[in-house]
Amino acid sequence: MTVPQSNAQTRSLLDHNLPLFVYSYSSRGFPDVIERMRHSFSYVPSYLISLYDYAYVIPKDLIKVDDERIRIWDSGGYETRQDEDYSAVYPAPSGSKTWSKADYVDSAKRIPWNGYDILASYDSHSQGVALHQQIEQALELFNKVDGEYFRDLVVHLSDGSDPALLMDTLRLYVDEFHILGLIEKEVAPTWVHGACFIHRVRTALSALSPNRYIPIHIFGCFDPKTVIRFAMAGADIFDGLTWMRYLFLDRSTLYKREVEYTVEVDRLRSAGDMELSIMIHNIEEMEHLRSDIVYAISVGDTSDFELEKADVCAALKGCPELGGV
């Protein structure tokens, strides 16, 4: 696949969608993921599914070539590794099938590409592996998958990683990927740390690639308050499972049972119906928020986000103390 060389080509797909909110589906922690997809799939404007779930779990009739939504195909690492999921309310056991680089390539080759697809690089649970080795492996596997898709280069960072080191490494590969993927829990022990890290990476990416905009994708970040602050710091794409785990209300993330005290008693007769209603409600909440952010960016009016703007400005001023800017 040829990587676009112009700013216009990359933005032709993503510009009107940035920031992009991507609704993730996963079999990890959601044994009823197929039912959830069938009830909510038509409501989500973009979605993320792992290649693992595409290979073993998701009915193929749900994935259509004429679906013109932006779709992110994750590597399958989340479904198969044993690490803790910090957004899960209860333990989320990993998948029972084996998963390898060959499985990743085979599953990707079966995707009916629609021209709006984003493929995340293979996750080899590689935290601690040198950055250049991670990137070389990702590019090697991308080259084995033919199709019209955008390359989302996901890098794992060790504790205390310096954005400068990341950018020095990316300098050698900047023309070989479209999107830079970062893991929220690796760059953001708090949102302040995350905002500082993202701001430094965005500043460096702009200097490194002045003629082609490279969006920053924060994997596992879908909390409304955090999304707003990270978008202000320079991130562009957000995904996560929290929209199926919690209740979003007025830019806050609440324990789902809070909704029981805001509706009529008769609506609580069916727990399943309430669960699905919350999912649809959360989609509407997030899309309303996204519209507000897009409007604020397009007209330069941040009056709806004065609190968040003040927070981010204060965070960035303190970045030197955090090893930041």
Residue found under tokens 């702009």: 206
Residues ≥6 apart with Cβ < 8 Å to 44: 23, 69, 283
For residue 5, pLDDT over 50 is answered with no
Average pLDDT on 214-226 reads: 96
Residues counted in the chain? 325
Q: Which domains does the chain have, with CATH numbers?
A: 7-245 (3.20.20.105)
- Work out the mean pLDDT of the chain and round it to a whole number: 86
Average pLDDT on 284-302 reads: 92
The CA distance from 259 to 271, in Å, is: 12
Please report which confidence band the pLDDT of residue 95 belongs to, taking 50, 70 and 90 as the band edges.
low
Answer for the pair 25, 53: CB distance below 8 angstroms, yes or no: yes
Question: What digits encode the pLDDT tens for the residues 143-201?
Answer: 999 988 999 999 988 765 678 889 999 999 999 999 999 999 999 999 999 999 999 99
Query: What is the pLDDT, as a whole number, of residue 225?
Result: 97
Please report which confidence band the pLDDT of residue 98 belongs to, taking 50, 70 and 90 as the band edges.
confident
The CA distance from 140 to 134, in Å, is: 10
Please report which confidence band the pLDDT of residue 277 belongs to, taking 50, 70 and 90 as the band edges.
confident
Average pLDDT on 45-61 reads: 95
First CA to last CA distance, the chain: 35
By the 10 Å C-beta count (0-12 exposed, 13-18 middle, 19+ buried), 315 is classed as buried
Whole-model pTM?
A: 0.89
The CA distance from 124 to 104, in Å, is: 11
Q: Determine if the peptide bond prior to 19 is cis (ω within 30°).
A: yes
- Residue 286 tokens read as 């997030």
Using a pLDDT cut of 90, give the percent of the chain over it: 62
Question: What digits encode the pLDDT tens for the residues 105-126?
Answer: 999 999 999 888 999 999 866 5
The CA distance from 289 to 298, in Å, is: 14
Total Cβ atoms within 10 A of residue 291: 10
